[in-house]
Chain A
Amino acid sequence: MDFDLTPEQEQIRKLAKDFADREIAPGARERDREQRFPAEILAKMAPLGFLGGPVPEQYGGMGIDYISHALITEEVGRADSSVRTTLSVQISLVELTILKFGTPKQKQAWLPRLCRGEVIGCFGLTEPASGTDAAALQTTAIKDGDDWIINGRKMWISNGGVSQLALIFARTDAKAPKTKGITAFLLSREHQPYGSPPIHGKLGLRSSDTSELVFEDVRVPDSMRLGELGQGFAIAMAALDSGRYSVAAGAVGVAQACLDASVSYATQRQTFGKPIAAHQLVQEMLADMTVETEAARLLVWRAGAVKNKGLPSTRETSIAKLYAAEAAQRCADMAIQIHGGYGFSDEFPVERYWRDARVNRLYEGTTQIQKLIIGRAITGIDAVAG
């Protein structure tokens, strides 16, 4: 067993770290305050290859391994979870899903443009009345000649408002068992216009774009169907599996950011004539944060190693996502505690880390769902389906 990164992985980490420190972190507070989407940062990331990640070079990606993918995601997440969310959706939910389930034509049509950042993608599964119970979705696609007519509404869609491509799920067979009657479609906004009313007032990720998606008699040619008829639910689950890995890596970045900010503050801030890091109860928190962060990172890398071998990684990814999401929240909480009153204001970044960390325990499967996935893997009993 070897925990060393390869020279290329070290280089990729350094590049991502430099970029995150110089280009992403400095404006994060203002973007959060103004709830402004970081378009200018994406424009700088694209030529460096950050939006292509593990997509093979023949489709315009970088063909990097999954550990490298996690390193980039962690560094971006360390600087700004809103930017990281955009990246997670673009690469893990949209690109990697098209790569896995798309026809050669679909892959050629979309992947290079997605990897170059010319097209921003979004992923529409969740609806106003269905989140965790994704198979209960109510959006419908009705066959009309060679086309499908789509009607319905999606909720909490990251990148929705800025997207030119939506990967969405609709019920194509009302009579089939609920997980079998769902089909995936690609909607090109130019040709299959959909609405995207913005959602404001979020607790965190305030500079990431979140919207609803609205489909009113949207006509989609059958050539835009992704995967087989009725395969939609399986595609959605595979996409979430891929997205979870990215969320987990991003959460490690948040935990690391909390630790860095706390060490810096605790070694400078003085109380009772010495730096607060000299107080044992503060040092305990710093030690706990270090353990949390490193444990989370190693779980992500382990899942990455399984992915690199091309083996099923659902269990490992769920373990990593569950632990990293909860660890990031605990670290953010301790970071505020160490910063005291200053941690409660946006003069320091830790309050943003705390707000941004919260959603990691919700999206791409709640912490509770991760536990049921892990439970199913060890018992063979599926407590979700009942």
Chain B
Amino acid sequence: MKLLVPLKQVPDSTMRIKVAPDGKSIVTEGITWSISPYDEYAVEMALEQKDADPSTTVSVVTVGPVRAKDALRAALAMGCDDGTFVTSDENAAPLVVARALAKFVEQKQPDLVLCGRQASDDDQGFVGPALATILGWPHVATVTKFAPADGGIEIWREVEGGHEVWKASGPALVTVQKSDKEPRYASLPGIMKAKKKELPELALSSLGVDAAAPKIEVVKMETPPQRGGGKILKAADGDAASVAAELVRLLRDEAKVL
């Protein structure tokens, strides 16, 4: 089985994000970059299939600026077989990214494409479904599990209060939801092996994709408003019963959580 996981490199989730002086971008200096968390779950899901059936190949691809190469190396260190780096500007339009990935999928011909359900930086959830649409492939969202089945692939999808099982008879694209299985660590042998692997580079322009896309521009970025200080009810405010009654009143009338 041939699996392909498109990755996006995003600021690591432990980073404290600051808005840049221009008011519409973030300060990238000193940022640690990582594979977007849902994409990491997609890599893990693909690698579990490889654990179960060693004939499986897991390829990764990313479209991004030079630094994004590290995301591919990280995925190789987790155990993926090969990676391809499509070089682009810092902010390639999502639709152009999807078109570029479609070209790559046509070359690579995987049986299943696994995308994260959304990237953790812009949270748009656009590229996966757009890629499926461009390819004319079926798309199943928020997937937690898949398995090869008779003449196709069975796909488990999370729904409110349970799950649905779908079946794809041909190649398909899934977007992956967080699951119980945490993405594995890279390992030292994985890192040393990844070091020896070539990472072919393709320029976005060389893929012959239509660069015209609806122009979306970030006009303004703001950090969330500062949280106000908490309120502490003290023993001096009354006996236990009256403090409790006051707490309930505050929760109901002020905080409006009851």
Q: Which of B52-60, B81-89, B162-170, B185-193 contacts A (4 or more CB under 8 A)?
A: B185-193
Give the distance in Å from the alpha carbon of A11 to the alpha carbon of B189 in the complex. 12
B185 near A52: Cβ-Cβ < 8 Å: no
| Alpha-carbon separation in the docked complex, A48 to B189 (Å) | 7
The CA of A10 and the CA of B77, in the complex, are separated in Å by: 12
Residue from B185, B189, B191, B194 in contact with A19 in the complex, judged by beta carbons closer than 8 Å: B185
Contacts of A49 in B (CB 8 A): 187-189
Chain A residues, CB < 8 A from B186: 11, 15, 48
Chain B residues with Cβ under 8 A from A133's Cβ?
none
Q: Is B70 an interface residue (CB 8 A)?
A: yes
Closest residue of chain A to B182 (Cβ to Cβ) is A22
Q: How far is the CA of A14 from the CA of B9 in the complex (A)?
A: 15
Query: Does B174 sit within 8 A of A, measured CB to CB?
Result: no
Closest to A61 in B: B188
Contact A62 B73 (CB under 8 A): no
- Are A15 and B192 also in contact (CB < 8 A) when A7-B70, A7-B73 are? no
With A11-B77, A15-B77 already in contact, the answer to whether A64 and B185 are too (CB < 8 A) is no
Interface of A, secondary structure class, is helix
- Of B32, B74, B189, B194, the most chain A CB neighbours within 10 A belong to B189
With a cutoff of 8 Å between Cβ atoms, the chain A residues found around residue B187 in the complex are 15, 47-49
Q: A8-B195, A11-B77 are in contact. Are A50 and B70 (CB under 8 A)?
A: no
User: Cα distance A48–B192 when bound, in Å?
Assistant: 12
Q: Are B185 and A12 in contact (CB under 8 A)?
A: no
Chain B residues closer than 8 Å to A57, beta-carbon distance? 192
Contacts of B77 in A (CB 8 A): 11, 15
Question: CB-CB < 8 A to A7: which residues of B?
Answer: 70, 73, 195
Interface string of B173-204 (1 = CB under 8 A from A): 00000000000011111011011000000000
| Mask: chain A, 34-58; 1 = CB below 8 Å from B; 0 = not | 0000000000000111101000010
A57 to B196, CA, bound (A): 15
Residue in B185, B189, B192 whose beta carbon sits within 8 Å of that of A8 in the complex: B192
Chain B contact surface mostly: helix
Contact with A along B191-233 (1 / 0, CB 8 A): 1101100000000000000000000000000000000000000
B185 touches A62 (CB 8 A): no
Do B73 and A50 touch (CB < 8 A)? no
Complex CA–CA separation, A7 to B187 (angstroms): 15
A63 within 8 A of B: yes
The residues of A that contact B192 with a CB separation of less than 8 Å are 8, 57, 62-64
- A222 is an interface residue with CB less than 8 A from chain B: no
Contact residues in B for A284 (Cβ distance below 8 Å): none
Residues in B neighbouring A228, C-beta threshold 8 A: none
Does A18 interact with chain B (Cβ within 8 Å)?
yes
Contact in complex: A12, B188 (CB < 8 Å)? yes
Question: With a CB–CB cut-off of 8 A, which chain A residues contact B185?
Answer: 15, 18-19, 48
Minimum C-beta distance from B228 to chain A (A) = 15
Contacts of A19 in B (CB 8 A): 185
Residue of A with least CB distance to B69 = A7
In the complex, how many angstroms separate the beta carbon of B12 from the nearest chain A beta carbon? 9
Contact B70 A52 (CB under 8 A): no
Nearest-neighbor residue (CB-CB) of B192 within chain A:
A62
Q: How far is the CB of A43 from chain B (nearest CB, A)?
A: 13
By beta carbon, the residue of chain B nearest A11 is B191
Q: How far is the CB of B112 from chain A (nearest CB, A)?
A: 27
B188 touches A48 (CB 8 A): yes
Q: Using Cβ atoms and an 8 Å threshold, which residues of chain B touch A62? A: 188-189, 192
Is B70 in contact with A64, judged by CB distance below 8 angstroms? no
Q: How far is the CB of A68 from chain B (nearest CB, A)?
A: 8
CA distance A48 to B185 in the complex (A): 8
| Most central of A11, A48, A49 by chain B CB within 10 Å | A11
* Alpha-carbon gap, A12 to B191, bound state (A): 7
Measured CA separation A14–B73 after assembly (Å) = 12
Give me 10 A-to-B residue pairs in the complex whose CB atoms sit less than 8 angstroms apart, sorted by A's number.
A7-B195, A11-B194, A14-B74, A15-B186, A15-B187, A15-B191, A47-B187, A48-B186, A57-B192, A64-B192
Q: A12-B191, A57-B192 are in contact. List 14 more A-B contacts (CB 8 A).
A: A7-B70, A11-B70, A11-B74, A11-B77, A11-B186, A14-B32, A14-B74, A19-B185, A47-B187, A48-B185, A48-B188, A49-B188, A62-B189, A62-B192
